[in-house]
Structure 1
């Protein structure tokens, strides 16, 4: 049913819970995992000079470590893994990556915010992916303060 599973990560603790589900799915279906982190360009695009460069480099290093953690866990379970770091708006890059790499399902976490909290925030990466992806999105409730959502 699933040959390729995309696991977007922001490096937060919530990724571990999400990864549990992705590893189980990959094991069950003999699927590969794609680990993806996105350097959110909005966090440094308005900065100037060294500050911009340093912030961008720090975010890239964080994303590389996040992808490495997902890859390590998948490899420990005997699952083939592809690693990728992209730059841009996370929800957009996740949807693009899924389309470009023939992903069968995306496994992501959410905080499960109430309607009131959703109105008060700009919107979650997970919700935007659910709304825009052309493939199924398996959403794992990871609780509050643990990353994207």
Structure 2
């Protein structure tokens, strides 16, 4: 059913559940697992961060750490990708690049309240493939 599964992670509890679900799907269907983490410099104001290489480096280091955690969880090998930009655009573009059969992501990010997060909503709305939210 699935040959390739893409999971997006930002380190939130919801994203961690998405990673577990993606690992299960990839294992069950013997599918390729891809993981992406997106550094959203726009969240903090691109102009504010443009002169602060240390802040961007710290954000990228955290994202790299999250991707390494995906690589070491479970018995499925993951191909990882770190990107900068708007998360929903980067996730959708990477899904297109790898021709993912399904995208798995948390329904709430780090800053969300009780409703579906803006990134999850945008991916669900604009992705041209199935999206599973956890």
Q: In the alignment, is the contact (CA less than 8 A) between 2:49 and 2:55 conserved in 1?
A: no
Whether the 8 Å CA contact 1:3–1:32 is kept in 2: the answer is yes
Counterparts of 2:24 and 2:47, CA distance in 1: 41
Number of the residue aligned with 1:146: none
| Separation in 2, partners of 1:134, 1:49 | 32
Residue 94 of structure 1 pairs with residue 91 of structure 2: yes
| 1:44 to 1:25, Cα distance in 2 relative to 1, 3 A | same
Aligned residues of 2:16 and 2:106 also touching (Cα < 8 A): no
| Partner Cα separation in structure 2 for residue 48 and residue 106 of structure 1 | 29
How much does 1:24 deviate?
Answer: 1.3
SS in 2 for 1:110: coil
Q: How many residues align?
A: 129
- The answer to whether the aligner puts 1:68 opposite 2:65 as a matched pair is no
Shift of 1:48: 5.8
TM-score computed with the length of structure 2 as normaliser: 0.87
SS at match of 1:37: strand
Aligned to 1:130: 124
Counterpart-to-counterpart distance in 2, 1:108 and 1:57 = 24
Runs of 4+ in 1 over 6 A off after TM superposition: none
Q: Which has the larger radius of gyration?
A: 1
Q: Which runs of 5+ in 2 are unaligned?
A: none
1: CA distance, partners of 2:14 / 2:8: 11
What do you get for the CA RMSD once the two structures are aligned?
1.9
Residues 5 and 33, structure 2, Cα contact 8 Å, conserved in 1: yes
Report how far residue 13 of structure 1 moved: 2.9
Structure 1, unaligned runs of 5 or more: 141-149
Please give the TM-score of this superposition, normalised by the length of structure 1.
Answer: 0.79
**Residues 54 and 44 of structure 1: is their aligned pair in 2 closer, same or farther, counting only changes over 3 Å?**
farther
